[in-house]
A and B are shown apart, each in its own frame.
Chain A
Amino acid sequence: MNQPETKPKMEFSENVTRRHLSGKVWRVLFLFSTFFGILALATLLLNIINQSSGYVIYKAKVDPVTLAVDGVPLKSQTKEQLMSVLQDNLSKGAYNKIDRDQPFAEQSRDDTYDLVITRIVKYEVETSWKLWDSLTKRGEIMQTAQTEYPNDLLRFNVWINPDFLRRPQSSDPVVAGVRTALLGSLWVIGITILVAFPLGVMAAIYLEEYAADNRLNRIIQTNINNLAGVPSIIYGILGLAIFVRTLEPFTSGTLFGITDPTTANGRTIMSAGLTLALLVLPLIIINAQEAIRAVPGSLRNASYGLGATKWQTVWSHVLPNAVPGILTGTILAISRALGETAPLVVIGASTVIFFDPENAFSKFTTLPIQIYQWTSRPQDEFRFLAAAAIIVLLALLLSLNATAVFLRNRFSRRY
């Protein structure tokens, strides 16, 4: 060994305190970032909750008390009693028109009740308060109700309630519900899952396990990664061109003998589901690839070392160990599809639709579209409805994520 000619000065500044200090500064920054995120989330949630319930003053055109039949109040009447109320209070022509449009024989008791409320009682919202005001200024509200609206009904209304989930969309905020949009969302997302999940997982298996590492496959891989970042409206335009226009005979259902005049133009659940499937396909592929890649090489070696073929290795060892990751990734991708609005607007989701979707070739609306439509209305009540619909959407997303966690825990339990 050569001895260096000059030995460097062996002096160190005592800086332990300073090093600890810089660590503390960073820690405060991290804490602040976390706090900021939680604050933003809390503000959002509180704002939604604030709008989702509160005092409302209803003005009834006909006081429901006067509609009691044989002393039975309106709320607990049977369907037949409600029908007689309708018959007594509507003109014969109006009554028959209802029977033609929505035959009474097919209506449930609740449908008939809703008809009585919308056609006869005709509640109108006079004024309304948000939850915070309702709680803090209760006395004031009571007084306003007594002095300014002495004949009207003051009620604490929780906008998100079973009736809200049960009722179809309506132009009357008092009876408007979210059922149409909820069913539309479920139908669309169902088709998205059916198409995107198998295609995505199979593509991921091919890319990870079979594709050779050559230029073509690298280009494909890069493009898939880039597709995951393409704005969703672009997918909407793509869907409009391919599914709504080009494949119209298929997406409108005429190929299958469905000729509903209202579902012309291929602006159907099928088009929407397929478009969203295209949208989430890259996400599912990438997530599934990650999950497959995370399966340890030692496991593959063990399998190959026993003389297993590639397919036996993939099927018996790689896939079972990748399932939790694949499912988690898929459900996160589906959650994204559930919240998408822009592509569906382009596809032509109906903003106002009063009937439930009957099959995959029906007209439809979805929760985000419904929320968008309600928030753009001038009346306060629709904004409350939008808040309630947002809660429904969030609940749906949370339950999807809970499913992801459940599946992950279930499948990663290794004996």
Chain B
Amino acid sequence: MAQPTNNEPDYILEAKNLDIFYGDFKAVTDVNMKIQRNKITAIIGPSGCGKSTLLRAFNRMNELVPGTHINGEIQFNGQNLYAPAVDPVEVRYRIGMVFQKPNPFPKSIYDNIAWGARIHGYIGNMDELVEYSLQQAALWDEVKDKLDQSGLALSGGQQQRLCIARALAVQPEVILMDEPASALDPIATLKIEELMQELKENYTIVIVTHNMQQAARASDYTAMMMLTDGESRSGTMIEYDETNIIFTRPSDKRTEDYVTGRFG
């Protein structure tokens, strides 16, 4: 693992000349980005520009769709995730994911947390791990008396925090969040955002969002994606910088139009 030097920022993930294809269709073109450890990086952009596709490339979830492949590479702690010797199961274990729609398992709250740890051969005290994970996800106080109830019986916001706790329980280094709050009301959204601020102490978070305020409020870095012009429209990254720069003085006109709401 690369150790951070004094002035150099510590990058955990790096996409190099990344193209992503669904069969013959090129969904994402030539993305180069470095993601800093223990920061929150937001990916914004209009619908269909490949934000989620890019996000899912970081833990090789795209491969579950037959016909998907990439050109270029993604480095994780300096190691190419797409090298032939790398097992995608291992990748997803190190880089967890939270989805747009809360998707707890139809099991008890306890088992939702414990299952992931169990399949990875967790040998510690499971009760402690469940409690710790739920506390990290700021859900413990709400569910500590009903751990044997179904995860599906919780409210939408609680379900999403359960999914975050589930991802935390296997101790990933990075958590990818694909519009985690888009199905939630503003109060639940705020809770998720506060949670992200706490989690970045120990984890690196990459979040895709449609909500500009959310990106501005919650993230340290923001990447702006947009479809290329021309015949074969494909998503690409047009600007990537610190969040306050993207939202106050972006260098690209299209970014400015988009973040100020003048786009399309």
Complex CA distance for A307 and B94, rounded to whole angstroms: 8
Q: Given the complex, which residues of A lie within 8 Å of B107, measured CB to CB?
A: 415
Nearest chain-B residue to A298 (Cβ)? B103
A5 at the binding interface (Cβ < 8 Å): no
Give the chain A neighbours of B163 by CB distance below 8 A.
302
Residue among A298, A299, A306 making CB contact with B96, cutoff 8 Å: A306
Q: Across the interface, which residues of B come within 8 angstroms of A303, CB to CB?
A: 105
B148 contacts across to A, CB distance below 8 A:
415
B106 on the A face (CB < 8 A): yes
> Known: A316-B115, A414-B152. Contact between A304 and B64, CB under 8 A?
yes
Is A317 interfacial (CB 8 A cutoff)? yes
* Shortest distance between the CB of A156 and any CB in chain B (Å): 55
Residues of A within 8 A of B105 (CB): 299, 302-303, 317
B89: interface (CB < 8 Å): yes
Known: A298-B99, A301-B61, A414-B152. A308 touches B106 (CB 8 A): no
A415 to B98, CA, bound (A): 23
- Which residues of B are found within 8 Å of A399, using beta-carbon distances? none
A402 within 8 Å of B (CB atoms): no
Q: Does B228 contact A (CB under 8 A)?
A: no
- Whether A8 sits at the interface, judged by CB under 8 Å, is no
Q: Judge if B244 is at the interface, Cβ distance under 8 Å.
A: no
How many A-B Cβ pairs are below 8 Å?
Answer: 74
Within residues 63 to 101 of chain B, which ones have a CB less than 8 A from any CB in chain A? Answer: 64, 66, 89-94, 96-99, 101
Residues of A within 8 A of B108 (CB): 415
**CB within 8 Å for A305 and B66 given contacts A298-B101, A415-B149:** no
Assess whether A415 is in contact with B66, with CB atoms less than 8 Å apart: no
Judged by a CB distance under 8 angstroms, whether B255 is at the interface is: no
B208 part of interface (Cβ distance < 8 Å): no
Q: Residue B119 contacts which of A212, A213, A299, A308 (CB distance < 8 angstroms)?
A: A308
The interface centre, meaning the residue of A212, A305, A414 with most chain B CB atoms within 10 A of its CB, is A305
Q: Is A321 an interface residue when CB atoms closer than 8 A count as contact? A: yes
CB of A309 closer than 8 Å to a CB of B: yes
Return A52 CB to nearest CB of chain B, in Å: 46
How would you classify the secondary structure of chain B's contact residues: helix, strand, loop or mixed? mixed
Interface size of B as a range: 20 to 34
Q: Within the assembled complex, what's the spacing in Å between the Cα atoms of A414 and B150? A: 7
Q: Is A312 an interface residue (CB 8 A)?
A: yes
The interface residues of chain A lying within 8 Å CB-to-CB of B152 are 414-415
Known contacts A298-B99, A302-B105, A307 near B150 by CB under 8 Å = no
Q: Is the CB of A306 within 8 A of B150?
A: no
Main DSSP-derived SS at the A contact region: helix
Residues from chain A with a CB closer than 8 A to the CB of B120 are 307
A254 to B160, CA, bound (A): 63
Q: Is A321 a contact of B106 with CB atoms below 8 Å?
A: yes
Minimum C-beta distance from B181 to chain A (A): 16
Given known A302-B163, A312-B119, A415-B106, contact A307–B66 (CB-CB < 8 A): no
Give complex CA distance A308, B64 in Å: 12
B64 partner residues in chain A, CB cutoff 8 A = 300-301, 304
Whether B99 lies near A301 (C-beta < 8 A) is yes
- Bound CA span A298–B178, Å: 13
Q: With A316-B115, A414-B150, A415-B150 in contact, is A305–B106 under 8 Å at CB?
A: no
- A residues contacting the other copy or chain, number (CB 8 A): 21
Contacts of B106 in A (CB 8 A): 299, 321, 414-415
- Please state if B101 and A305 are interface contacts (CB–CB under 8 Å): no
Q: Among the listed A298, A307, A321, which residue makes an inter-chain contact with B89, where contact means beta carbons less than 8 Å apart?
A: A307
- B112 to chain A minimum Cβ distance, whole angstroms, is 9
Whether B59 sits at the interface, judged by CB under 8 Å, is yes
Min C-beta distance of A317 to chain B, whole Å: 6
Chain A residues 305-329 with CB under 8 Å of chain B are 305-309, 312, 316-317, 321
| A302 interface neighbour in B59, B103, B149, B150, Cβ under 8 Å | B103
Q: Flag if A307 contacts B93 (CB, 8 Å).
A: yes
Complex: chain B residue closest to A312, CB-CB:
B119
CB within 8 Å of B: which A266-305 residues? 296, 298-305
With a cutoff of 8 Å between Cβ atoms, the chain B residues found around residue A213 in the complex are 66
Cβ-defined partner of A308 (8 Å) among B59, B66, B89: B89
- Whether A307 and B92, one on each chain, are in contact in the complex, defined by CB atoms closer than 8 angstroms, is yes
Contacting residues, chain A, for B166 (C-beta < 8 A): 302, 306
Give Cα A316–Cα B107 distance, bound, in whole angstroms: 10
A301 cross-chain contacts in B, Cβ below 8 A: 61, 64, 97, 99, 103
> B116 near A: Cβ within 8 Å?
yes
**With A301-B61, A414-B150, A414-B152 as contacts: A307 and B90 at CB distance below 8 Å:** yes
Residues of A within 8 A of B170 (CB): 306-307
Shortest beta-carbon distance, A347 to chain B, in Å?
43
Minimum CB–CB distance from B188 to chain A (whole Å) comes to 18
B20 is an interface residue with CB less than 8 A from chain A: no
**Do the beta carbons of B99 and A306 come within 8 Å of each other?**
no
Indicate if the CB atoms of A306 and B167 lie closer than 8 Å.
Answer: yes
A302-B99 in contact (CB<8A): yes
Partner of B97, one of A212, A305, A321, A415: A305
Closest CB in chain B relative to A69 CB, distance in Å: 68
In the bound complex, residues from chain B placing their C-beta under 8 Å from that of A305 are 59, 61, 92, 96-99, 167
Q: Give 18 CB contacts A-B under 8 Å.
A: A212-B66, A298-B101, A299-B103, A300-B64, A301-B103, A303-B105, A304-B64, A305-B59, A305-B97, A306-B119, A307-B116, A307-B170, A312-B119, A317-B105, A415-B108, A415-B150, A415-B152, A415-B153
4 closest residue pairs by CB, A with B: A307-B93, A415-B150, A305-B97, A298-B103
Residues of A within 8 A of B (CB): 212-213, 296, 298-309, 312, 316-317, 321, 414-415
Additional 8 contacts, C-beta under 8 A, given A212-B66, A305-B99, A308-B89: A300-B64, A302-B166, A305-B97, A306-B93, A306-B167, A307-B116, A414-B106, A415-B149
